[in-house]
Amino acid sequence: MADECVFCKIASGKIPAKKIYENDNFFSIPDAKPVLKGHSLVISKKHFKNSLDLPSLLGNDLIDCIKNTSLKIIEKEKVTGFNIISNNFESAGQVVNHVHFHIIPRKKGDGFKVGA
C-alpha cells in the first residue's frame, strides 16, 4: 500500500513538491486543492494510515512541524488565525490513507466553516 501512496512518493522524492517546512519525521507542503489561500498539509515521512497509528513518540516533531508551518503561513498570508484539521477514516472525510493534518489559514469574515 505504501508503494502506491501519493504522500509516501512525495516523502521519498519520487513526486517533487515545494516543502514549506521539514524536520526528521514530518514535512509540510501547500495543499493541491486549497479551501483558502495558504491551506497546507503536515505529513508524516513514514506511512501511518491515520492519527491512531501515529506513535506518541513522534508528538514533539508533529507539533514542531505544525507550529513552524503555521508561523510561515501567518507571515506570508497575513492571516489572523488558523485551523488544524485531521480527518481520520473515510467516514470523517479522509481521502488519502496516510496521516496528515490540514492547516487552514483564517481571516475574520473569510466565510469558511469548519465541520457540518
- Among the listed residues 47, 98, 100, 102, the single catalytic one is 100
Residue 54 burial (CB < 10 Å; 0-12/13-18/19+)?
middle
The reply to whether 100 belongs to the active site is yes
Q: List Cα–Cα distances, 63 to 9, 60, 92, 97, in angstroms.
A: 23, 5, 22, 20
User: Would you please indicate which residues are annotated as catalytic (active-site) residues?
Assistant: 100
